[in-house]
Structure 1
């Protein structure tokens, strides 16, 4: 799904979050895809706050640095938006053609989006028919124009050209698709259409401040939302428990996890599980007959030791961490196996964005 897009043969993915700028370029090769270039440039705290760019010069410089490090072959960019700047609603509408829906969508969105329609970009995706076949389920997506334009500006100032704008939660789905056959269990990636239609799994990309969640049913998106919760909550728990600065707490999280106060870790995992349960409960309101059976984690938050095990235990759902790179060819001269193994879970959204360049 694109909020707006112009087709391009080669797209580099740019994922700008509050914690880092990530860049990925993929190429098409026989049997799949190849990692051509990649870069991750950390951002100082408070440069981006709740998706608002506070210090555009720092973000632009991080983009310039990412391009210098990666040396991508293209300057055409796909980037994603998420969080509180984005509104995702699933609504029921009378059956109609996609052309008719395009004409009706603004009126429908006006009933659900708490902004003036002139101030947002709108998009939609038809999910399918309701269980009784009387209506269509449609996902409405709206993003504030000023947010998109602010991101476009820093990208353009870095010498890049925006060709595609996506939602992080949908790029997450796109990136996970290349893993279905190899990573996901047979009960989920079932080749039998009837069997697959009853399988439900969730994707959760845990970033620094936001978690993108996408629930898939029978190979189609059934529910999506962004939650204001991420790895920074653990950093704040560490900061409070140890009486240290945010920066020192972040470093402790990375370098001395075993030394962290046990209550801080427990509080974080409890809060993370509560946020995920809240999303599953929202999903269950519409889809009580199709409970989520599997949960797949990505993002920097998925790298916190014990996350998959803790969430599986607390939710009673089989939980695993996704890494796209075992399914993407990469030159060992450019990218070490250890580096890709460590960074992979953080890169699922930009990988999904990069794949947009190969959409038919």
Structure 2
């Protein structure tokens, strides 16, 4: 199965193979989308998106046309709830009734799924269950565009969970054995932050288990807009300056961007702290196109006061230098985090 990260700015394609040591890269592509082709999960320019998908397949040449995609923002609702302990089979029979109490849409308007997270920390006789509802309209529209591009939609994930999945194969973020035996003081509490063009995905994990997820309507395009305003240039030229001549960018534009970004991150941390006050975040891992902004990890560490690193999903993935430009791929690795997390779903048991 191929991981396809279809964002507002581009399409990222990743296919992996399992090896004795872990994983190897099989296919990779990155194709830009015209601005406004996708707005808030809605496909506005079907022709442009379909062509970008065809181009991604042509460039990447994956071995399969089966794909996994991720949804985020207003297209998906994720809610953790407490329910009486039950088997997965028993839960299937009553999950729709439970979801109806928590999801602000008619059950006819969504595709519904759930995952049992484990025993509740707050109530001995209960378990924590994750409810996920995706808007049918968004999924169905996406399925049509993929089909018309010769691709078959096999799996729909949430971007925040694809992010977590990709992080788990790196040295920076590992699942902790027997997490329930670890005290709050010794816990590994990581804020996974994926900064895309127009959206930021946040997944805070406690000892490798997701405890809080949130999407924010803030992305690296905000820096482009600050550059536009500061330098009096068009969006495309500002984007080039951001990527190719960052040292020439006005300090005022950079400061305005970081002020907004830190405010959004702090808002997420505050929401999380209200639900898990005893488990303080002790590490932030930044990915996405925004992670390629020079010096972003140091800036955020200094401003937020939490140890911060850039998350590269290809850190421990084998990349054949005869087939790929390994150095370029490693430099741009954070861009492919969501697509990598989706590609890893091929190996789920």
- CA-CA distance at 1:309 after TM superposition: 1.0
Q: Aligned partners of 1:90 and 1:123: how far apart in 2?
A: 12
- CA-CA distance at 1:173 after TM superposition: 0.7
- Give the aligned partner of residue 141 of structure 1: 132
Contact 2:176 2:208 in 1 (8 A): no
Report SS of the residue matched to 2:278.
coil
Q: Relative to 1, partners in 2 of residues 1:130 and 1:23: Cα closer, same or farther, differing over 3 Å?
A: same
Q: Aligned partners of 1:53 and 1:103: how far apart in 2?
A: 34
- Give the aligned partner of residue 345 of structure 2: 356
Task: Say if 2:165 is the partner of 1:165.
Answer: no
Contact 1:189 1:196 in 2 (8 A): no
Q: TM-score, normalised by structure 2?
A: 0.94
- Give the aligned partner of residue 79 of structure 1: 69
Q: Aligned partners of 2:177 and 2:92: how far apart in 1?
A: 33
Q: 2:40 aligns with which of 47, 50, 59?
A: 50
Report SS of the residue matched to 2:280.
coil
Alignment of 1:56-71 (within 5 A): 56-71=46-61
CA offset digits 1:160-216 (Å, max 9, x no partner):
11111111111111111111xx334xxx76657534872211111110111111111
- Give the aligned partner of residue 168 of structure 2: 177
Report SS of the residue matched to 1:183.
coil
Q: Aligned partners of 2:176 and 2:87: how far apart in 1?
A: 30
Q: Aligned partners of 2:262 and 2:94: how far apart in 1?
A: 38
CA offset digits 1:107-161 (Å, max 9, x no partner):
2222222211101111122222332334322222111111011111111111111
- Over aligned residues, Cα RMSD in angstroms? 1.6
- CA-CA distance at 1:100 after TM superposition: 2.5
Q: TM-score, normalised by structure 1?
A: 0.92
Contact 1:77 1:162 in 2 (8 A): yes
Task: Say if 2:321 is the partner of 1:332.
Answer: yes
Q: 2:147 aligns with which of 139, 156, 165?
A: 156
Report SS of the residue matched to 1:106.
helix
Task: Say if 2:8 is the partner of 1:21.
Answer: no
- CA-CA distance at 1:33 after TM superposition: 0.8
Contact 2:117 2:129 in 1 (8 A): yes
Contact 1:196 1:218 in 2 (8 A): no
Contact 2:37 2:44 in 1 (8 A): yes
Q: Aligned partners of 2:27 and 2:135: how far apart in 1?
A: 31
Contact 1:269 1:307 in 2 (8 A): no
Alignment of 1:90-101 (within 5 A): 90-101=80-91
Contact 1:302 1:345 in 2 (8 A): yes
Q: Aligned partners of 2:327 and 2:16: how far apart in 1?
A: 19
Q: Aligned partners of 2:172 and 2:133: how far apart in 1?
A: 32
CA offset digits 1:256-300 (Å, max 9, x no partner):
211111111111111111111111111112210111111101000
Worse-superposed segment, 190-199 or 302-311:
190-199
Q: Relative to 1, partners in 2 of residues 1:140 and 1:164: Cα closer, same or farther, differing over 3 Å?
A: same
Q: Which runs of 5 or more residues in structure 2 are unaligned?
A: none
Report SS of the residue matched to 1:111.
helix
Q: Aligned partners of 2:108 and 2:123: how far apart in 1?
A: 33
- Give the aligned partner of residue 220 of structure 2: 231
Task: Say if 2:188 is the partner of 1:199.
Answer: yes
Q: Relative to 1, partners in 2 of residues 1:143 and 1:29: Cα closer, same or farther, differing over 3 Å?
A: same
Contact 1:47 1:59 in 2 (8 A): yes
- Give the aligned partner of residue 219 of structure 1: 208
Report SS of the residue matched to 1:114.
coil
Alignment of 1:169-318 (within 5 A): 169-179=160-170, 182-184=171-173, 193=179, 194-195=181-182, 198-318=187-307
Worse-superposed segment, 131-140 or 203-212:
131-140
